[in-house]
């Protein structure tokens, strides 16, 4: 991914943590279309392993969240 994509995905991932975090390294989108779309985008970059209710962060996703 490009540096620009990484910056955008970092912002999206941070917003997902703020609004959809379930406390187990996972995301619950609560059937919000914006949340579902965010999980799809993050999954397309292998940052989230999607599940019907949301998903779990992959190791790469957790590394992205830990970046400054």
What is the arithmetic mean of pLDDT over 1-28? 94
Task: Name the band, by pLDDT with cuts 50, 70 and 90, for residue 25.
Answer: confident
Question: Smallest Cα–Cα separation from 27: which of 49, 60, 2?
Answer: 49
Domains and CATH numbers, the chain: 3-66 (1.10.10)
Task: Name the band, by pLDDT with cuts 50, 70 and 90, for residue 68.
Answer: confident
From start to end of 1-68, where are the E strands?
26-28, 48-51, 54-57
Q: 33-44 vs 3-20: helix axis angle to the nearest 10?
A: 140
Percent of the chain at pLDDT > 70 equals 100
Instruction: Tell me the C-alpha distance between 15 and 37, whole Å.
Output: 13
pLDDT at 42: 98
Q: pLDDT tens digits, residue range 36-55?
A: 999 999 999 999 999 999 99
pLDDT at 41: 98
């Amino acid at each position: 991914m490009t540096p620009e994509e990484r910056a955008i995905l970092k912002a999206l991932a941070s917003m997902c943590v703020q609004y959809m975090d379930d406390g187990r390294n996972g995301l619950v989108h609560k059937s919000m279309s914006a949340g579902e779309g965010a999980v799809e985008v993050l999954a397309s970059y292998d940052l989230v392993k999607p599940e019907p209710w949301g998903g779990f962060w992959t190791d790469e996703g957790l590394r992205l969240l830990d970046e400054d």
